[in-house]
């Protein structure tokens, strides 16, 4: 059973950004990324750029001509997971694309190609083929060795990797958050990006929670973007994040990876540990705001209707006043004509009277 199709014109693109530049370049990575997105046709519903205190520069300098909103994720050091959650929660589309600001895309419909795979209700997330600037593979999916994620075929030429020419999307263990498309409802249902992983592992953890719900994670190798990996932030993986990831997934890792179809299909609430209190609070807040927004929209619609009625009434009154003024002007014209006529008659009477008086005086 296929689900209703939602294309790139109804997708929100979420871009966490620190506003940094690549080495020996002056133009921010974000600007290059946005310029590449401007080729999409049709354009996405919106682009949400999420910044923090560390943001360098002024995004408004080059964002004015695109459907872009800039939001602040809150105080504190760079936090990819929190930035993504902030962007998704304020987004207005049913699909969200998480995208790094150090990526560049070519073409007009690559996002549509990714969106096509979400017609399959069993697909929970869609990734893309990411290459380094030298065209070698950076990401074509993530698998696991000894409980740790590894990028498949990393550093190899695409010509050496048969799966690059695959006609169907590739099932993978996880996909990078540098370019990851999901349904917004699925993202929220599994608790969004975990605040336990502010910089690394958050995307892998998200994919594994989707898989634990029974979803597949796929990569479409026909969709290719250039990824200047970690150009926008230091390439550091903290040991404590690695340990948290291992603790979270070590107990049911093997069953999940060997045969996802037999893994327990957890309810969304089962996937939310205490670290997700923030995303749940923000989700509840988002729902409440959505209700308020709907109420405001209804109120605005009512005010518009009332304003239209008032404008119509005012227009009627103006027409009536105009007609009255016309009648008054016509009456004034008639009065003026009558006054002129009376004045003329008075002059004639005065003249006749003067003539009579002179004749009588002369006759004496």
Distance of CA 14 to the CA centre of its chain: 7
Whole-number pLDDT of residue 229: 74
Q: How far apart are CA 239 and CA 260, in angstroms?
A: 28
> pLDDT: is 346 or 180 the higher one?
180
Q: Residue 185: enclosing H or E segment and its boundaries?
A: helix 184-189
Beta bridge partners of 131: 137, 226
**Rounded Cα–Cα distance for residues 93 and 95 (Å):** 5
**105-119, 251-265, 287-301: range with highest mean pLDDT:** 105-119
Closest CA to 136 of 149, 153, 120: 153
Give the long-range contacts of residues 296-303, CB within 8 A, separation 24 or more: none
Preceding amide of 151 cis, omega within 30: no
> What CA–CA distance (Å, rounded) separates 352 from 277?
108
Q: In this predicted structure, what is the pLDDT of residue 264?
A: 45
The band of 270, judged by pLDDT with boundaries at 50, 70 and 90, is very low
For residue 309, pLDDT over 80 is answered with: yes
Report the alpha-carbon distance of residue 163 to residue 170 in Å, rounded.
Answer: 8
Q: Quick check: helix, strand or coil at residue 28?
A: strand
Please state the rounded mean pLDDT for residues 248-259: 68
What would the two tokens of residue 356 be? Answer: 């009579």
pTM of the predicted model, to two decimals?
A: 0.71
- Dihedral of the alpha carbons of 95, 96, 97, 98, in degrees to the nearest 10: -160
What's the chain's Rg over C-alpha atoms? 36
User: pLDDT, tens digit, for every residue of 129-175?
Assistant: 999 999 999 999 999 888 888 899 998 998 888 888 888 899 999 99
Distances in Å between the Cα of 210 and the Cα atoms of 21, 216, 260, 265, 328 are 33, 7, 10, 10, 78
Percent of the chain with pLDDT over 90: 40
**Residue 19 token pair:** 């506003």
Please tell me whether residue 19 adopts helix, strand or coil conformation: coil
Mean pLDDT of 183-194: 90
List, for residues 13-63, the tens digit of each pLDDT value.
Answer: 999 998 887 766 677 888 889 989 988 988 899 999 999 888 877 665 555
Separation CA 192–CA 40 (nearest Å): 26
Beta-sheet pairing, 123-131 with 142-145: unpaired
Residue 275: burial class (beta carbons within 10 Å; 0-12, 13-18, 19+): middle
Exposure class string for 194-204: b at 16+ Cβ within 10 A, else e: bbbbbbbbbbb
For the stretch 163-175, pLDDT in tens is 888 888 999 999 9
| Residue in 67, 61, 74, 63 with CA at minimum distance from that of residue 12 | 67
Say whether pLDDT at 2 is over 80. no
Print burial letters for 300-317: b (CB count within 10 Å at least 16), e (below 16). Answer: eeeeeeeeeeeeeeeeee
Q: How far is CA 352 from the centre of its chain?
A: 93
């Amino acid at each position: 059973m296929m689900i209703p199709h939602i294309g790139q014109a109804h997708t929100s693109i979420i871009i966490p950004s620190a506003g940094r530049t690549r080495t020996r370049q002056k133009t921010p990575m974000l600007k290059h990324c946005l310029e590449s997105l401007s080729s999409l046709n049709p354009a996405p519903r919106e682009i949400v750029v999420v910044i923090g205190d560390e943001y360098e520069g002024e995004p408004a300098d080059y964002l004015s001509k695109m459907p872009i909103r800039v939001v602040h994720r809150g105080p504190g050091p760079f936090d990819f997971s929190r930035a993504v959650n902030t962007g998704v929660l304020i987004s207005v589309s049913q699909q969200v694309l998480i995208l790094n600001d150090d990526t560049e895309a070519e073409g007009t419909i690559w996002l549509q190609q990714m969106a096509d795979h979400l017609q399959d209700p069993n697909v929970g997330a869609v990734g893309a083929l990411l290459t380094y600037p030298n065209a070698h593979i950076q990401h074509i999916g993530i698998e696991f060795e000894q409980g740790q994620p590894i990028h498949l075929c990393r550093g190899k030429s695409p010509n050496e990797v048969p799966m690059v020419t695959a006609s169907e999307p590739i099932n993978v263990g996880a996909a990078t958050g540098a370019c990851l498309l999901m349904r917004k409802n699925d993202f929220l249902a599994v608790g969004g990006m975990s605040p336990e992983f502010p910089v690394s592992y958050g995307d892998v953890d998200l994919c594994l929670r989707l898989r634990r719900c029974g979803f597949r994670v796929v990569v479409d190798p026909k969709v290719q973007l250039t990824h200047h990996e970690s150009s926008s932030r230091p390439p550091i993986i903290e040991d404590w994040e690695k340990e948290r990831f291992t603790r979270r997934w070590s107990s049911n890792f093997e069953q999940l990876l060997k045969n996802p179809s037999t893994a327990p299909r957890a309810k969304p609430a089962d996937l939310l540990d205490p670290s997700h209190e923030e995303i749940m609070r923000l989700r509840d807040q988002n729902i409440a705001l959505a209700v308020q927004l709907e109420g405001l929209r209804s109120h605005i619609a009512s005010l518009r209707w009332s304003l239209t009625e008032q404008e119509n009434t005012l227009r009627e009154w103006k027409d009536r006043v105009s007609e009255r003024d016309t009648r008054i002007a016509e009456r004034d014209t008639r009065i003026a004509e009558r006054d002129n006529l009376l004045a003329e008659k008075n002059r004639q009477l005065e003249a006749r009277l003067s003539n009579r008086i002179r004749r009588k005086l002369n006759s004496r």
